[in-house]
Amino acid sequence: MAIRDGTNTVYVSAAVAWEIAIKRALGKLDAPDDLVAVMEANRFLPFPITIAHALTVLSLPDHHRDPFDRMLIAQALHEGFRLVSRDPIIARYAVPNLTA
C-alpha cells in the first residue's frame, strides 16, 4: 500500500536492479526488458550504492547471508529509510521495515 500510495518517495537500490539482472540472465526471473522505463513510469527513483553503504555492511550482525539483502539493510540503516521486503529475516535487524 505504501508504494501504491503515490505520495511516498520510492527509491530502488542499484542492488535490486543488479539482483534482477542476475536472476533474469539465469532464467530464474521474468522481468521487464527496460527496468529503467518501468521504474520511471511508476515514479520510482534510482538509488546508488556508495562506499559508505558498503562499509555499513561491516556493522551488521550475520543474521542474513545474502549479499544483496545485506546491502539493502545497510542502505536503509545508513540513510534512515524504511525497507520494503517480504523476507522475514530482515525483521531481525534494527531497520524500519514494511512487509511486502
Q: How many CA atoms lie within 13 A of 50 on its CB side?
A: 10
Q: Are 98 and 82 in contact (CB under 8 A)?
A: yes
Classified as helix, coil or strand, 47 is strand
Q: What's the domain count of the chain?
A: 1
Q: What is the CATH number of the domain that holds 51?
A: 3.40.50.1010
The string of pLDDT tens digits covering residues 40-94 is 999 999 999 999 999 999 999 999 999 999 999 999 999 999 999 999 999 999 9
Residue 69, domain member (yes or no): yes
41 domain residue, yes or no:
yes
50 part of a folded domain: yes
Can you give the residue range of the structural domain that contains 62?
A: 10-99
- CB 60, CB 73: distance < 8 Å: yes
- Identify the pLDDT of residue 66: 94
